[in-house]
Chains A and B, each alone.
Chain A
């Protein structure tokens, strides 16, 4: 691949060793990084949807030559949580919890899954490990990352032991802006038996930035993983949020909200793999496209042959505020067990003219009426968010973006 040779020319084993040594990593971790680096040459970009004559997202336009600057990563980071749980920066986790990392690192997101995961694995210089011991309820874990360099590669691991619970709020933003920046994040969540994880994420990077993120969880028996995914920043985002329901009676919910304006391009995937009995999934995404923004949504509900008694639901709704924007959607059902109740739906439309007319007839000026209707459109998604702070921030960011508009 041409992009591969391009970046490879810039990247060396020495750089990767330097990053790994700087974090005091054991040899086996350095090895995984070096293997990922070596694999770059043969790996493909993440899959994007293609229809006759059209690629829904073009990742080959990313100019890695100028984007990746492995040794000069800079950030401002908060990693805080309650005392009962451990919320550790990567280097501390390496020192204190090598066993935990050995068990889980790279077990959920294969470092060599594609070109960008391999790049992230080889080069990540910062990360967070959240460990919740058996029976502990940990609220308000906050991880805040402010990117201050051209590229930043971030890694997060969440491990919850039996019957524990945790709510996590992660945010990404940009401090020092540059003409083009690249943020890459890999998140692995291992939810133990009967544990509960809510992982909320608010991506509000600079609108000049590129973003590639994979968040993937595996839910054990009776475990629940709920994702909340807010996307507002970047000029190009390619993300996947997914759960493998590998334990009987496990559950997942993926809630997404996005608001694209200017020339933003969001490629958002929500996926669930039902791999055990009595599992339930609920995928809900709502978003707005404005100006010449384009949204691409792929939802996958994959029910395996052994996933008896599955319930799986998916809804995606896009509101187009501008005639020049584009909204693409592909909600997919892959069903291999007939003992399944599965449905999906997707809609695209604009603000309902009758609703607008009703409100203006009540004396609301058209602009306020429109803003209220858009805010109202997001309510079904916002209602699913447990963490007040995340909900309020998302509401405010949407409101601000609307009020900036004519």
Chain B
């Protein structure tokens, strides 16, 4: 391991994510969801009227929609009381749009991100970094060379003010309308923070840009919105990391991600989610892909009490391509219900979904996925592969794929396997001198290898480290 990753080694324990900070808010909304709360959020952000109107419309849709209940085997959301969640907390920082120098941040916030290793990663591997604390982005910076090429990487609230035309056109309109599902509507009403990424035609952003989302306060909800617009022939890799300390009451994370992949453009969206194990993580993420565009989703779900996340790609343009790589790890008390959705709406489109899940200590993982090939989407192909590894008999591993094929000139394949760690594999490694723990860790590392190799080395290391942390203690 190179010295670049020292910060990961130094913080070897869960303490790296578990530490709590004194809550120090400038503005904090009441609990629950009322028109007043929405108006207060919008006013505090000094938003234009059109955004307030969108929020209020989304609130109305939220109130009129029932909670999802008829999904087979869906996670238990009964402990989630949205009315008890604090939707908006603005941390007490001087500059509203986030500073571009870590040293300008209040000590406790700076210390948070230091512990998470963000400034260190920025130096080594990233084109730009945004950091969100509670409901607001507190730090945002991008290397000058990209700014000169017209790349925009700023927080979403700032984008509403400075790029209203782009936001008006793309924000929760065609990609993820609030009517999509109850939590998308909730998100539309109370969203705050998140990233706005705009890459002009033909520009390749060579190193990834990253946003890090941190929830610190007890009982809060984080609703950041990420909007990525990649114009024709451009290329960008966006990385998102999330964490929160654990409190007695539940937190809610309900993010929204919208990605517009232009003709011949290439967007990779990678996320490693490590929310505390009392967080409900209910997100809506979707990409629309124009002709010959490529969308890649790489997701690692480690944290949360319950996750429901099915990143979706709409292959709208001829020859567009989608790749999903997803890994889920569910330990004690966790229900990670995640998967992928792909709509093939044009000819010559292709998709690949690769899912790996690991369940242990009574955790449950479920792959839930949908592939739809519309009539007329000739010469399209899709390959879905789901593999699950179970550690013990208290755990559950489900696989629920759905395939809707309306077109005959297609190639559709779905495969899934479930199994335990092979005794023979462990025996072999032990005979080479590894102890039982290390043997299991090595087997798991091998199992998720196809995912980690898609990530920049810093994140691959982090992912492996997280999984090792998850495995420690109960394997002996």
On whether the beta carbons of B416 and A338 are closer than 8 Å, the reply is no
Task: Give B400-430 interface residues, CB cut-off 8 Å to A.
Answer: 400-420
Query: In the complex, what residues of B have CB within 8 A of residue A338's CB?
Result: 390-393, 395, 397, 419-420
User: Chain A's nearest CB lies how many Å from the CB of B203?
Assistant: 35
Asked if A332 and B405 make an inter-chain contact with CB atoms under 8 angstroms apart, the answer reads no
Whether A348 pairs with B412 at a CB distance below 8 angstroms is yes
In the complex, which residues of chain A have a beta carbon less than 8 angstroms from the beta carbon of B407? 323
Find out whether the CB atom of B402 lies under 8 angstroms from the CB atom of A49.
Answer: yes
The reply to whether B405 and A331 contact each other, CB–CB distance below 8 Å, is no
| Per-position binary interface string of chain A over residues 298-331, scored 1 when its CB falls under 8 Å from any chain B CB and 0 otherwise | 0000000100000000000010111111111111
Interface set, chain A 328-370, CB cutoff 8 A to B:
328-350
* B388: interface (CB < 8 Å): yes
Is A330 a contact of B419 with CB atoms below 8 Å?
no
Whole-angstrom distance between the Cβ of A146 and the nearest chain B Cβ: 35
Q: How far is the CA of A29 from the CA of B188 in the complex (A)?
A: 57
Chain B residues lying within 8 Å of A320, measured Cβ to Cβ, are 405, 408, 410
Are B398's CB and A327's CB within 8 A? no
Q: Smallest CB-CB separation from A56: which chain B residue?
A: B404
Give every chain B residue within 8 A of A321 (Cβ-Cβ): 408
Distance from A215 Cβ to chain B, minimum over Cβ atoms (Å): 22
In the bound complex, do residue A326 and residue B406 qualify as a contact, i.e. CB atoms below 8 Å apart?
yes
Give every chain B residue within 8 A of A405 (Cβ-Cβ): none
Q: Report yes or no: B395 in contact with A345, Cβ–Cβ below 8 A.
A: no
Whether a CB of chain B sits under 8 angstroms from the CB of A400 is: no
Assess whether A348 is in contact with B392, with CB atoms less than 8 Å apart. Answer: no
Q: Choose among B388, B404, B411 the residue that contacts A335 (Cβ–Cβ < 8 A).
A: B388
A285 to chain B, nearest CB (A): 14
A2 within 8 A of B: no
Any A CB within 8 A of the CB of B399: yes
> Please, what's the 1-or-0 string for B358-396, where 1 marks a CB less than 8 Å from any CB in chain A?
000000000000101001000000000000101111011
Question: In the complex, which range does the number of interface residues on chain B fall in?
Answer: 35 or more
In angstroms, Cα B390 to Cα A331, docked, is: 19
Complex contact A345–B415 (CB within 8 A) = yes
Nearest-neighbour CB distance to chain A for B36, whole angstroms, equals: 32
Shortest Cβ distance from residue B11 to the other chain A in the assembled complex, whole angstroms:
31
Q: With A and B bound together, what is the CA distance between A327 and B402 in angstroms?
A: 11
Contacts of B406 in A (CB 8 A): 326
Q: How far is the CA of A31 from the CA of B219 in the complex (A)?
A: 55
How many contacts between A and B, using CB within 8 angstroms? 118
Contact assessment for A334 and B398 in the assembled complex, using a CB-CB cutoff below 8 Å: yes
State whether A344 and B415 are in contact (beta carbons under 8 Å apart), knowing that A305-B393, A335-B390, A338-B420 are contacts in the complex: yes
Residues of A within 8 A of B370 (CB): 51-52
- Residue of A336, A347, A350 touching B396 (CB-CB under 8 A): A336
Central interface residue in B397, B403, B411, B414, by most chain A CB within 10 Å: B403
B398 touches A347 (CB 8 A): no
**Contacts A321-B408, A335-B390, A348-B405 hold; do A330 and B417 have CB atoms under 8 A apart?**
no
Instruction: Tell me the minimal C-beta distance from A32 to chain B in angstroms.
Output: 29
Q: Which residues of B contact A51 (CB under 8 A)?
A: 370, 372, 402, 404
CB–CB B410/A331 < 8 A: no
For chain A residues 51-96, which have a beta carbon within 8 Å of chain B? 51-52, 54, 56
- A347 → chain B closest CB, angstroms: 5
Give Cα A136–Cα B252 distance, bound, in whole angstroms: 63
Main secondary structure of the interface of B (DSSP, over half): strand
Which residues does chain A contribute within 8 Å of B408, judged by CB atoms? 320-323, 325, 350
Q: Are A333 and B397 in contact (CB-based, < 8 A)?
A: yes
Complex CA–CA separation, A332 to B420 (angstroms): 18
Chain A residue nearest in CB terms to B181: A52
- B399 CB contacts on chain A under 8 angstroms: 331-333, 335, 344
> In the assembled complex, how far is the CB of residue B193 from the closest CB belonging to chain A, in whole angstroms?
28
- The answer to whether B49 has its CB under 8 Å from any CB of chain A is no
Proximity bits, A124-153, B CB within 8 Å = 1, else 0: 000000000000000000000000000000
B144 interfacial by beta-carbon distance below 8 Å = no
**What residues of chain B lie closer than 8 Å to A335, measured between beta carbons?**
388, 390, 396-399, 418
Return the contact of A341 from the options B396, B397, B414, B419 (Cβ within 8 A): B419
Q: State whether A349 touches B402 (Cβ < 8 A).
A: no
**For residue A350, which residue of chain B has the nearest CB?**
B408
Complex CA gap A347/B400 in Å reads: 15
Interface membership of B73, Cβ < 8 A: yes
Task: List the A residue with the shortest CB-CB distance to B414.
Answer: A346
Q: In the complex, which of the residues A318, A340, A345, A346 contacts B420, with contact meaning CB atoms closer than 8 Å?
A: A340
B contact residues around A339 at 8 Å (CB): 393, 420
B196 vs chain A, min Cβ distance (A)? 27
Contact pick for B411, options A49, A334, A349, CB 8 Å: A349
Given contact pairs A335-B418, A338-B395, A347 touches B402 in the complex (Cβ within 8 A): no
A327 touching B393, Cβ below 8 Å:
no
A347 touches B420 (CB 8 A): no
Distance (whole angstroms) from the CB of A81 to the closest CB of chain B? 40
Asked if residues A340 and B418 are in contact (CB atoms below 8 Å), the reply is yes
Known: A323-B408, A345-B413, A349-B410. A331 touches B401 (CB 8 A): yes
- Nearest-CB residue, chain A, relative to B360: A338
Among B375, B402, B416, the residue within 8 A (CB) of A344 is B416
Chain A residue nearest to B415 (CB atoms) is A345
Q: Does B70 make an interface contact (CB < 8 A)?
A: yes
Does the CB pair A327–B405 fall under 8 Å?
A: yes
B-side contacts of A331, CB under 8 Å: 399, 401, 414, 416
In the bound complex, CA of A332 to CA of B417 (Å): 11
Q: Kindly list chain A residues whose C-beta atoms are within 8 Å of the C-beta of B398.
A: 332-335
* Complexed CA–CA distance, A47 and B103 (Å): 59
Residues of A within 8 A of B73 (CB): 334
Given the interface contacts A333-B398, A333-B418, does A323 sit within 8 Å of B375 by beta carbon?
yes
> B418 contacts which chain A residues (CB < 8 A)?
333, 335, 340-343
**B-contact bits for A201-235, CB 8 A (1 contact / 0 none):** 00000000000000000000000000000000000
CA distance A339 to B423 in the complex (A): 11
Among candidates A52, A324, A336, A346, residue contacting B403 with C-beta atoms closer than 8 Å: A346
Contact A332 B400 (CB under 8 A): yes
Cα–Cα, bound, A49→B401 (Å): 11
CA distance A345 to B404 in the complex (A): 15
Q: How far is the CB of B168 from chain A (nearest CB, A)?
A: 26
Residues of chain A with a CB closer than 8 A to B405's CB:
318, 320, 326-329, 348
| 7 closest cross-chain pairs (CB), A and B | A338-B390, A320-B408, A348-B412, A333-B399, A338-B420, A343-B417, A346-B414
Task: Apart from A330-B402, A338-B395, list 14 A-B contacts with CB within 8 A.
Answer: A323-B408, A323-B409, A326-B404, A327-B405, A332-B401, A333-B400, A333-B418, A334-B398, A342-B418, A343-B417, A346-B413, A348-B403, A348-B410, A349-B411
A-B contact pairs, 8 of them (CB 8 A): A56-B404, A328-B405, A329-B414, A335-B399, A338-B419, A339-B393, A340-B390, A349-B411
Enumerate chain B interface residues (CB-CB to A < 8 A).
70, 73, 370, 372, 375, 388, 390-393, 395-420
